Chain A
């Protein structure tokens, strides 16, 4: 525990230092990124120890704040999330060093690093705090520091707008959490998590309400549909390494919160599982559909985060359902798949955001339609982005496959059982649909950006990114491959973690995990074989090409004499069949100027996909609230005297009321 506190101190200290050295970008960069990496390395030690042994580390001090106590606890669940947070933050920090260097003359890098370090420290605090007050404070600091990171380029109007949407959404979520914790504290007369668990809230009508509050409150942070509206705004606005951290790990604190809350509520009820599965299906399928319709690379990735949160929630729902109907095998596989997908998504989504950042860094363009053919100029970025795309589509031998496989197997086990067969079929169908659509989405993203010819002449000469940005991506790609190839051992090592979440005995979990370990071993063997074949094919190609100069020539152009780069498939045309099929959900707006006459001169097609929930649900809702509140506008006179009068009258009437 000491080490964790020490690493927290390093985060804060390096953040403050880089803030004060803001004038000197080189020092600020070094202090900020160096502090994050060092703090993460130190924090990884206790996290891995706890995760490996399942032993619990605690730290407790009394605290002046009412209902608060400075109690920290590192159990397997916290340690797992801590591990994910620290790994991705450290890698993103290394990347951010170079990424931010371009902004050194326009922006104060010190402030950015300050908030980055505070964000990492607060995320660590969120997953290890064991008291409601401390948790909420860390949660709030996390929201605020990430708000300042999102509004890094605050001179752009859309960035400011995104920042506001994020700030409002996250605070609405926090409001639900406040109600949740007040409810629990009212019941247990303490805000310590230990009391929540011990006093047994379960079996009362409170549990259902508390669960719903947690789903809304934590779901807003995690990005459940329809509370996801801030994600597609905030992620494109933030600098890429920040998007990677926010999408990779910050939204997972919402998932952590759900896991933690479930541990307070005792035995779950079946409808919780059904609700979570429904939420997961909605987020997953709609998330990937919206991702498919986007033109902005980072916005696409943000929607894909919603999709992956959906997959995580499907696993979670399956696990909860398994606990509710007493089917431990479902619980083990559901929770296991869900947790593993948290780590996996952090790795490959981090990789993809860093890749998108590299594209942005090299070309200055975020719109997919203007890109193309980048793999010739940026072979490393292209290959690494391809690996990330494979992983996110859930293809073997990479890690995304393993976690989805776990959930799939769990759902297939559940199909034969009464009570859960219908939901299991739903999970299987949903996961399959998500996988297929994700494949379409990422072939589009990769194919349009990296293959073909550039669709517009780039403003800058495109160049491969430097090693300091390549190395973090390489590490993440290796992580993806590593988890994919070592899956049987990793699943076995997750035993204490699953035990912590489900409350089952280690031996029972071993029995249930045995179901999956054998197929995973076969998959590993096949994957190794596949990797070997791939490597030998690459070597063969290189051997055949050695000494020859590959040339470039025109494809058959249908008799048309001068094919141009604009005759390629565009992102919209590639996605069009699917977006038309699901046009009912997407509500894509089209502006078509169709070609006319025998010799058409001008024609254009413009499509735009707004977020349906933002436009149809939240805009009218907030407009209504705004109109309602305008009626109270006469209270605001803008005079100091009037406000003092309000305060004085309130205090006096309270005093009189009390003395009555």
Chain B
């Protein structure tokens, strides 16, 4: 079982790297969807003895939202706003890759030093979550398109979810559902906002939006 968990975590880390390294917007959306599905499976593996109805329900909701609803919303807003299909980064792909490897090392180091209230099944869960949060931030910082920033936000939330997973026993269901609802609303609003921004200005480049400032 340990092996499976570690394999899944490595897979998640790889999705992060793939996200930062790929240039196609639609590919990135699919990767985030995949990440969501993998994250949905993870609780079942980490705490198989506690697969109560609650946990199953939570996993199912996570998979449905992160694996299907969000990607569908994003793909739709990508299509309706007819953006160019590239990510248009501030920082090049290979540089981003190098930075994210550095961040991975940082996350590993931090994961080793972070004091946790309960012992964990796998030592990799905390580094994974920290790394995912950092990659999300990196995606927000280094990409131009508003849509890719929504992606970064989603990835960041995935990281927070993974962190919560490590401490799932301590977290009440309500909090998790609340976070999910938050993200759903955020993506929804962002999708609508992107659509409207696109309609007003014919593009969704955030660096061109900064021309609006006073």
- In Å, the complex CA distance between A642 and B90 comes to 11
B114 near A640 (CB under 8 angstroms)?
Answer: no
Q: How many residues of A contact B (CB 8 A)?
A: 13
- Chain B 108-125 interface mask (CB, 8 Å, partner A; 1/0): 001001100000000000
Q: Which chain A residues numbered 603 to 660 have a C-beta less than 8 Å away from chain B?
A: 637-642, 644-645, 648, 652, 655-656, 659
Instruction: Considering the complex, give the chain B residue whose CB is closest to the CB of A660.
Output: B113
B160 located at the interface, meaning its Cβ lies under 8 Å from any Cβ of chain A in the complex: no
Instruction: Contact check, B110 vs A638: say whether CB atoms are below 8 A apart.
Output: no
In chain B, what residue has the closest Cβ to A645? B141
Number of contacts between A and B (CB, 8 Å)? 34
Q: Tell me the minimal C-beta distance from A167 to chain B in angstroms.
A: 19
**Quick one: given A639-B207, A659-B110, A659-B113, are A644 and B213 in contact (CB under 8 Å)?**
no
Contact among B90, B113, B114, B213 with A641 in the assembled complex (CB-CB below 8 Å)? B90
Q: Which residues of A contact B41 (CB under 8 A)?
A: none
Q: Is the interface of B mostly helix, strand, loop or mixed?
A: helix
- Residues A652 and B134 in contact in the complex (CB < 8 Å), given A644-B140, A645-B141: yes
Of A638, A655, A659, the contact of B210 (CB 8 Å cutoff)? A638
Partner of B149, one of A640, A642, A645, A655: A640
Q: When the two chains form their complex, are residues B210 and A639 in contact, meaning their CB atoms are under 8 A apart?
A: yes
Contact string, B56-98, partner A, CB cutoff 8 A, digits 1/0?
0000000000000000000000000000000000100000000
Q: Are B206 and A640 neighbours in the complex by a CB distance under 8 Å?
A: yes
Question: Separation in Å of the B40 CB from the closest CB of chain A?
Answer: 27
Contact assessment for A648 and B137 in the assembled complex, using a CB-CB cutoff below 8 Å: yes
Shortest beta-carbon distance from B146 to chain A in Å: 9
- The chain A residue with its CB closest to the CB of B143 is A641
Does B142 count as interface, using CB distance less than 8 angstroms? Answer: yes
**A652–B134 CA distance with the chains assembled, in angstroms:** 9
Contact of A655 among B110, B143, B144, B207 (CB under 8 A): B110
Collect the chain B residues with CB atoms within 8 Å of residue A642's CB: 141
A642 CA / B91 CA spacing, docked (Å): 13
Residues of chain B within 8 A of A659, CB atoms compared: 110, 113-114
Question: How distant is the Cα of A652 from the Cα of B140 in the complex, in angstroms?
Answer: 15
A residues within 8 A CB of B141?
A: 641-642, 644-645, 648
* A641-B206 contact, Cβ under 8 Å, with A656-B110, A659-B110, A659-B113: yes
- Find the B residue at minimum CB distance from A651: B137
> What 0/1 readout, one digit per residue, does chain B (187-214) give for beta carbons within 8 Å of chain A?
0000000000000000000110110010
Interface size on B, residues (CB 8 A): 18
- What chain A residues lie within 8 Å of B114 (beta carbons)? 659
B133-158 residues with Cβ-Cβ distance < 8 A to A are: 134, 137, 140-144, 149
Q: Which residue of B lies closest to A659 (CB)?
A: B113
Q: In the bound complex, how far is the Cα of B135 from the Cα of A652, in angstroms?
A: 12
Across-interface contacts of A656 in B (CB, < 8 A): 106, 110
Interface centre among A639, A641, A645, A659 (most CB of B within 10 A): A641
Whether A639 lies near B206 (C-beta < 8 A) is yes
Complex Cα gap A156–B30 (Å): 55
Q: How far is the CA of A618 from the CA of B113 in the complex (A)?
A: 51
Docked CA distance A656–B114 (Å): 10
Complex: A637 Cα to B141 Cα, angstroms: 13
**Which of chain B's residues have a CB closer than 8 A to the CB of A652?**
106, 134
> In the assembled complex, which residues on chain A have CB atoms less than 8 Å from the CB atom of B106?
652, 656
- Cα distance, A638 to B141, chains bound together (Å): 13
Q: Which residue of A lies closest to B212 (CB)?
A: A638
A641 x B110 contact (CB < 8 A)? no
Which chain B residue has the least Cβ–Cβ distance from A639?
B210
Measured CB to CB, the nearest residue on chain B to A641 is B141
| Nearest A residue to B90, CB-CB | A641
A640–B106 Cα gap in the complex (Å)? 25
Residues of B within 8 A of A639 (CB): 206-207, 210
With A and B bound together, what is the CA distance between A371 and B142 in angstroms?
A: 66
> Contacts of A638 on B, CB cut-off 8 Å?
210, 213
Residues of chain B with a CB closer than 8 A to A655's CB? 110
Q: How far is the CA of A645 from the CA of B206 in the complex (A)?
A: 15
Among residues of A, the one whose C-beta sits closest to the C-beta of B112 is A659
The residues of A that contact B113 with a CB separation of less than 8 Å are 659
**Known contacts A638-B210, A639-B206; A644 and B137 CB within 8 A of each other:** yes
Q: For the complex, what is the distance from the CA of A655 to the CA of B113, rounded to whole Å?
A: 11
How far is B207's CA from A452's CA once the two chains are assembled, in angstroms? 67
Chain A minimum-CB-distance residue to B211: A638
- Kindly list chain A residues whose C-beta atoms are within 8 Å of the C-beta of B149: 640
- Most A Cβ at <10 Å: residue of B90, B137, B141, B149: B141
Q: Considering only CB atoms, which chain A residue lies closest to B138 in the complex?
A: A648
**A645 vs chain B, min Cβ distance (A):** 5
When distances are taken between beta carbons in the complex, the residues of chain A under 8 Å from B206 are 639-641
User: In the complex, which residue of chain A has the Cβ closest to the Cβ of B206?
Assistant: A640
**Once the chains bind, are A641 and B134 in contact (CB under 8 Å)?**
no
On chain B, the residues within 8 Å of A644 by CB distance are: 137, 140-141
Per-residue CB contact flags for chain A residues 291-328 toward chain B (1 = under 8 Å, else 0) read 00000000000000000000000000000000000000
20 further interface pairs, Cβ-Cβ under 8 Å (given A638-B210, A640-B209, A648-B134)? A637-B210, A638-B213, A639-B206, A639-B207, A640-B149, A640-B206, A640-B210, A641-B142, A641-B144, A641-B207, A644-B140, A644-B141, A645-B141, A648-B141, A652-B106, A652-B134, A655-B110, A659-B110, A659-B113, A659-B114
What would 12 A/B residue contacts be, using CB atoms closer than 8 Å?
Answer: A637-B210, A639-B207, A641-B140, A641-B144, A648-B134, A648-B137, A648-B141, A652-B106, A652-B134, A655-B110, A656-B106, A656-B110
- Top 10 nearest A-B pairs by Cβ distance? A659-B113, A648-B137, A638-B213, A645-B141, A638-B210, A641-B141, A644-B140, A639-B210, A644-B141, A640-B206
